[in-house]
Every structure is written in structure tokens, then in C-alpha cells.
Amino acid sequence: MNNTMFAAIAETAQAALVVRHIPRPVPGRGQVLIKVHAAGINPLDTKIAAGGGAHARQPLPAVLGIDLAGTVVELGEGASGFVPGDEVFGMAGGIGGAQGALAEYIAVDARLVALKPRSLSMREAAALPLVFITAWEGLVDRANVRAGQQVLIHGGAGGVGQMAVQIAKARGAEVYATGSATRLDFIRGLGATPIDYRRQDADSYVRLHTDGEGFDIVYDTVGGPTLDASFNMVKTYTGHVLSCLGWGQHSLAPLSFRGASYSGVFTLMPLLTGKGREHHGQILREGAALVESGQLRINVDQRRYGLGKVNEAFAQVAEGRGAGKTVVDIGVE
């Protein structure tokens, strides 16, 4: 095997990524070396490339790319659970100073990846990890979503939102999701009752769908004023608000007056701290099981980008032009 590889590198903030040869990584203790077939591009990747996303702690220059799917080619000392040839997927690099997935090979902690669902292509699998883990950590780990509950997802057509809708449905909840008029049919197709947030104010759809009692769970994937509004939309005493974008200044008074609770979701924590990495692998295995049972699907943009067109892929994500998750095919020009 050649000891160098191609990788896309963000050398300085707000500059185009550059594809060049760098040394191929060697798997360390507990790591697996993966030949990357596809890398999912997230908005966070584009923010880091633009000089933002300070919470990801990824100084430049760096190889970016958080999500990946590929084939295990080598195991480091002490790594277990996989054999060479296994097809895997995961959210495993690109932050905290670690090499990302926009390269031909990546060495990652074996605890962060799982066997790829057989029914998914590499492209589809690479689109899944960050958004699925974020949705699962909120709905399942924090709120224990279950049958008999009414769940509202803000931004139901977004990356995390569509995962959240499907997880809540799979666990037996009655699901509602907000979106713009052009996305209502998509939301309906996921199994949720769509709500056009531009035509209905929050008070009206809380009255319509919950008789004014409020939702059992509200998952905010939008942030800002949407999170503030969410505090008034849950049931008294038992209501639970979740947010994966709970940044900035927010008053908890409306939530406190309802006796309800709030949980923040920070999916990057295991990669940044090393704590809880086994749980990420467990969540991915839960996702694979949902895929194989037909209860989870991922919407992937059909435009194809190789490493040579990585800047076009980043522009598509940064500008919000994708009709689904944008994926870069590694090894394709």
C-alpha cells in the first residue's frame, strides 16, 4: 500500500480547499484504518472552512469531513469488533484536531464506527451519522420518546429534523413537524403531520393538535427565536424541550413557569473529550437496525462530486442548494 494519499485540505479560512498528497495515516492503539469511499458534508464542515465553528476545535490547516463510509483495511493494536473488508460508517473525524474524511484513508477510534447497513450504498451511509446521532441523543437519550406521546419537531425537513421524525415514529409517538410550504409533502412522506410555520402561529397549532395542553416533547433543530417559542409549547410538569442549537441568550422563565424541562444536545462531545465514544457506536448500530427494518431512510442529493470538485460540494452546502445531503465520492475525480 502506498504511504501517501490524496486529501482535501482547508489551508486557511475562507480559501478554497486544496487537494494534494499527504502521508497516509497509520492506525494507533484502538484504531482502525479505513479506506474512505464517501464523505458526507455537513454545514459545520463549511463553517470550519470559513473560519467559524470554534466549538469544533479544528485549527487550520486541516483535512475536514466529519461523516464517512468506507472499508476497514487494517486494525491497530487493541482494536476489536471488525476485520479487514468490513464496510463501516461513522462520525469519526474532522474536529478536535483530528484528520477528517475528505481523504483516501482515515485512522479512527474503532468505537466511533459501526457496520454499514447492507441495504444502503456507501453514499447513503456517509450521509447518516451526524444527523442520526444528534436526533437520537435528543429524543432517546434525553427524552426517552415513546408510544402515546405527542412530539413536535421544528425543522422536520432538515438533516436532523428528518431523522428525528423517523426515530419518534419508529418508537410509536405521534409526530408533528414544522416546515416551509414547499417541504410539507416531504414531511408528510416521513410520517409526520406537517405544519406550515409561516401560515400558522405557535398558539394556533398547539391548540389544534394538543387541545392547548402542549406537546410532550419539542425538539428544536433551528435555534434562536424558535427555541424561545418552544418553551411555551410543551405540557406543564412533564413537557421536555430539546435543542441541538441552544446557543446565545435565552430566558428559561417560560419553561420554569410550566414546570417543564430542557436538555441540550452537543453531539461532538465524545470526539472532543474521548468520553462516551462507545455510545456513538451503539447509536449507529441502532440506526442500522432501523434502516434494515425499513423504518429509516436518508435523502441524498443526486449530484456527484469527487475530491477534485470538493469546493463545489462545499458551496452547495453553504448556500443550502442541496436536494438532500451532499456527499463527496472519494477516489472519483
Compute the distance between CA of residue 300 and CA of residue 125 in angstroms, rounded to an integer.
10
| CATH code for the part of the protein at 4-128+272-329 | 3.90.180.10
Contact 74, 27 (CB under 8 A): yes
- 149-to-144, 179, 188 alpha-carbon distances in Å: 10, 21, 18
pLDDT at 333: 47
DSSP 8-state assignment for residue 229: H
The closest of 228, 217, 232 to 140, measured between CA atoms, is: 217
pLDDT at 77: 97
Whether omega for the bond prior to residue 27 falls within 30 degrees of 0, making it cis, is no
Please give the Cα distance from 307 to 167 (Å, whole number).
Answer: 32
- pTM (predicted TM-score): 0.97
Helices (H), the chain: 43-49, 122-126, 129-136, 159-170, 184-190, 202-210, 225-230, 253-257, 269-273, 277-292, 310-318
> CATH homologous superfamily of domain 131-264?
NAD(P)-binding Rossmann-like Domain (3.40.50.720)
Cβ-contact 104, 5 below 8 angstroms: yes
Domain boundaries, the chain: 4-128+272-329, 131-264
Is 300 within 8 Å of 293 (Cβ atoms)?
no
Q: For every one of its 333 residues, what pLDDT tens digit does the chain have, with 9 covering 90 and above? A: 689 999 999 999 999 999 999 999 999 999 999 999 999 999 999 999 999 999 999 999 999 999 999 999 999 999 999 999 999 999 999 999 999 999 999 999 999 999 999 999 999 999 999 999 999 999 999 999 999 999 999 999 999 999 999 999 999 999 999 999 999 999 999 999 999 999 988 999 999 999 999 999 999 999 999 999 999 999 999 999 999 999 889 999 999 999 999 999 999 999 999 999 999 999 999 999 999 999 999 999 999 999 999 999 999 999 998 889 999 999 764
What is the per-residue pLDDT for 62?
Answer: 98
CB burial string 262-283: b at 16+ within 10 A, e below = bbebebbebbbeeeebebbbeb
Q: Are 31 and 79 in contact (CB under 8 A)?
A: yes
Q: What is the pLDDT of residue 190?
A: 96
Max intra-chain CA distance, the chain: 65
**How many other CB atoms sit within 10 Å of the CB of residue 48?**
27
Give dist(CA 177, CA 156) in Å, integer.
5
323, exposed or middle or buried, with CB in 10 Å at 0-12, 13-18, 19+? exposed
DSSP state of 139: I
User: 163 near 46, Cβ under 8 Å?
Assistant: no
